[in-house]
A and B are shown apart, each in its own frame.
Chain A
Amino acid sequence: MTNTPLLEVKDLRVHFPDRHRRWGRPDRTVRAVDGVSLTIGRGETLGLVGESGCGKSTLGRAVLRLVRATSGSIRFDGHEITTITRSALTSLRPRMQLVFQDAGAALNPRWSVARLVGEPLKIHRHLIGAERQTEIDRLLDAVGLDSELGRRVPRQLSGGQRQRVGIARALALEPDLLICDEPTSALDLSIQAQIIELLLQLQERLGLSYLFIAHDLGVVRRVSDRVAVMYLGKIVESAPCDALFDAPRHPYTQALLASVPVLDPERARRRLPPTLAGEIPSAANPPIGCNFCTRCPDKGTVMSDRGIDCDHQEPELAYLRDGHGVACHLEPGAG
């Protein structure tokens, strides 16, 4: 049992159907997640990166079944999430929790911190009175908040403190998997560093697994064991963290990394202009072949070297040595 990964997603699709479809007009179904496979081991962090609209948040929500999968399989500790009954899901839910980007919006503004953190304890663990209070204090302490703050309402907290409350709520039920959806994006650098350190400490202490969804590549590099890059509903590259950042193989990953601003002013000024032209196509009307073919700088090379037409042939995510997966016709074995 311990050898099976905690989370195993296979060929997951989440499509949002076109509700205004008329005969003779093109189907505008949005393919938010379109054939994604990934695994997360116990105690492991998978970083999921991609630009807005690539489907990374939808993927996270599908794992928690906050949105229903269109097809494919999601296995959490051996349980099939896509077909699970409602009652079985309720008993599984405590084991996977979500940390939101905007803790201010995720917390009830009229509730005290103690009540917010105590709510899951009441519902799922049926704790009452002094027992619950002890547990609330323990959780606040675990996320580095003074138990005095328990009387305050979210408005009276700073952004970093609110995010800590959000994490305390998520931890209340002793989950195995934490899905962190842009947990530090709204925070200043100094607060961001504290929250990241907190997440890393909690992981070490509690053996948590993280699905860490973020667009900030610097943050992802700091927390992840492995990283998957999403583009237009598909994973284009997946690799151990250092391999992905030091030797990216997919043209999109390369362009993405080349776009991250560098801190060294001399280096920043010498940098070439961005290689990636144009914009991400609509998920309602993705390209026929490779999803990246409309913007790929290497399309010509693929045609001349390998004789493959990227516009019409879709590459498969092929794994090379060391668990480095790339979905590109440039890679031998893809296609």
Chain B
Amino acid sequence: MTERNHTIAEPLLDVRDLHVEFDTRDGVVRAVESVSLSVAGGESLAIVGESGSGKSVTAMALVGLVPIPPARIRADRARLGDTDLLELDEAGLAQVRGGRIGFVFQDPLAALNPVMRIGRQIGEVIELHLGRSRADAATGVLDWLDRVGIPGPADVARAYAHQLSGGMRQRVMIAMALAGEPQLLIADEPTTALDVTVQAQIVALMRDLCDELGMAMIWISHDLAVVAGVADRVAVMHGGRIVECGPVSEVYAAPCDPYTRELVELAQLNAIVAGDLGNPARLEPGS
């Protein structure tokens, strides 16, 4: 792994030598091998890589969202602040999920409860993790819906997930993730299913909210350009390992690892802005 020089005073999340293996009929699949990463409070880390590189499994394994068995998870260290994530039982992990760590997934329609009103789902988070009363939670819900830029929060709170557009649903997911007032937000491909104009809105929203709340973020994505605008540091994953990690501007401008270089060059091919990181001309047939 190529690790560039940087020091984190007091990491919020500190993971050392994480391994995740799956027992399958065709043998053992090593999804994550010897991954170490750390995120400081208020910092934003992007994990990028192609499908199957282990980027989602890395994040999910830390909070008990990977079923054991078939998975086997071991690590030298996995700490969130002064909590050892490896030692927590299921009840303890459930307290961390949605509480100190918030989640935003790619497909909000699958992640939201289809038969529960939006307001109730967000309200539940506030009751469970902040110990507020139901009435208190209800006002909190309207406040969060407003903060994520939803027009008419009262109407949306009464709606069901299927009644909302894709962009609105993702805003609801973000409101739900933030309602537990997390220290760390894990966003797994949060804009991949969205149209480009909506994606731009969601990216701007998440960046602004992170700055405002001083929240740390792990943004998992296959799209190097999407994370360029949000991440402080980037970790590039390939075949279950982190092949390169460093400040996003340094890694993109001068990738050390050959795989990273290939990814950046491929992303440059798709760049539409002239001179975007020195993108080459159009691809000619046979070139």
Contact = CB atoms under 8 A, between A and B. Distances in A.
B94 to A, nearest CB: 34
16 contacts: A189-B50, A197-B283, A201-B286, A217-B196, A219-B270, A246-B274, A255-B197, A259-B196, A261-B228, A262-B229, A265-B248, A265-B252, A268-B225, A276-B201, A279-B165, A279-B168
Given A262-B271, A264-B276, A274-B201, 13 more contacts: A51-B198, A188-B51, A189-B50, A190-B262, A193-B266, A221-B282, A261-B223, A261-B225, A265-B229, A268-B225, A271-B229, A274-B197, A279-B167
B1 interface: no
Contacts of B222: 188-189
B229 A196 contact: no
B200 interface: yes
Interface in B236-286: 248-249, 252, 262-264, 266-274, 276-277, 279, 282-286
Interface in B199-234: 199-201, 203-204, 222-226, 228-229, 231
A273 interface: yes
A273 B206 CA distance: 12
A261 B252 contact: no
Nearest to A186: B51
Contacts of A215: 195-196
A245 B272 contact: yes
A190 B267 CA distance: 9
Interface of B: 50-51, 165-168, 195-201, 203-204, 222-226, 228-229, 231, 248-249, 252, 262-264, 266-274, 276-277, 279, 282-287
Instruction: Specify the main secondary structure of chain A where it touches its partner.
Output: helix
B43 to A, nearest CB: 15
Interface of A: 51-52, 188-190, 192-193, 196-197, 200-201, 203-204, 215-219, 221-222, 245-246, 255-269, 271, 273-274, 276, 279
- A-B CB proximity, top 9 nearest: A218-B270, A268-B229, A259-B200, A261-B225, A51-B195, A274-B200, A188-B50, A200-B285, A189-B266
Given A260-B273, A274-B200, A204 B225 contact: no
